[in-house]
Structure 1
């Protein structure tokens, strides 16, 4: 159980990264729903999500031009613990996960072998 005075982050999103025309576009699928009392916060959460996606792409994908559509398929918001920064970080994590699935894990460093005594 968390105390309401303790800052925590909750941002649960499902996004698809799809090939697209040159550039970057963000779409919200028609099937995405959220409880009515959170609707007024969605534009800010969407903007923060896009900001995080753009930031991470700018850092991780530097050798090819972007031709990408990001489609938001699902979103969950917590009454107390969801905020713009939560969704910005979710965007960054989504890019990391997509790149991991695309490229596989980064190479692991080789372990040093113990020298024979």
Structure 2
């Protein structure tokens, strides 16, 4: 992941309003998921919850939205579990807003946007990952 393993605990401070988008248009149907989340310092481990009334943009049925939330939580957990051994994860992730597309949104897109949200939060907390150096000829 390229995160500074000397960083200690993730998140080091509240990271609010982290917006993540996963949109891929390679064919029809495509993939689309957009979320806004907060990463709050918490007890050791990963706690995931939706705000009491998360804003939902786009039409989606209740059971379908629940499947999207579950997939999003899976993506969050997968990405955080893959962090280096030097980082202790102690986070509450609060889903604040969801945006869906009636054709292109599906659980797989929400799993991926969960991973993207963690990467965005890591960049906000520790700075962007180091860029690969060019080799000289």
- TM-score strictly above 0.5: yes
Decide which moves more: 16-25 or 84-93: 16-25
CA contact (8 A) 1:38 1:77 kept: no
User: Structure 1 residues 110 and 79 mapped into 2: Cα distance closer, same or farther (>3 Å)?
Assistant: closer
Aligned-partner SS, 1:88: helix
For 1:11, the equivalent position in structure 2 comes to 33
User: Structure 1 residues 43 and 106 mapped into 2: Cα distance closer, same or farther (>3 Å)?
Assistant: same
For 1:66, the equivalent position in structure 2 comes to 89
Structure 1 portions without partners, runs of 5+: none
Cα drift, residue 113 of structure 1: 6.6
User: Structure 1 residues 85 and 113 mapped into 2: Cα distance closer, same or farther (>3 Å)?
Assistant: closer
Bigger helix share:
1
| Aligned partner of 1:31 among 49, 53, 62 | 53
Q: For the residues of structure 2 that align with 1:112 and 1:93, how far apart are their CA atoms?
A: 29
Aligned residues: 110
Aligned-partner SS, 1:11: strand
Q: For the residues of structure 2 that align with 1:97 and 1:75, how far apart are their CA atoms?
A: 16
Give me the TM-score of the superposition, normalised by structure 1.
0.81
Give me the TM-score of the superposition, normalised by structure 2.
0.71
For 1:44, the equivalent position in structure 2 comes to 67
5 Å-filtered alignment, 1:85-96, equals 85-96=108-119
Pairwise CA RMSD of aligned residues?
2.1
Q: For the residues of structure 2 that align with 1:80 and 1:93, how far apart are their CA atoms?
A: 21
For 2:130, the equivalent position in structure 1 comes to 107
Is the radius of gyration larger for structure 1 or structure 2? 1
CA contact (8 A) 1:23 1:66 kept: yes
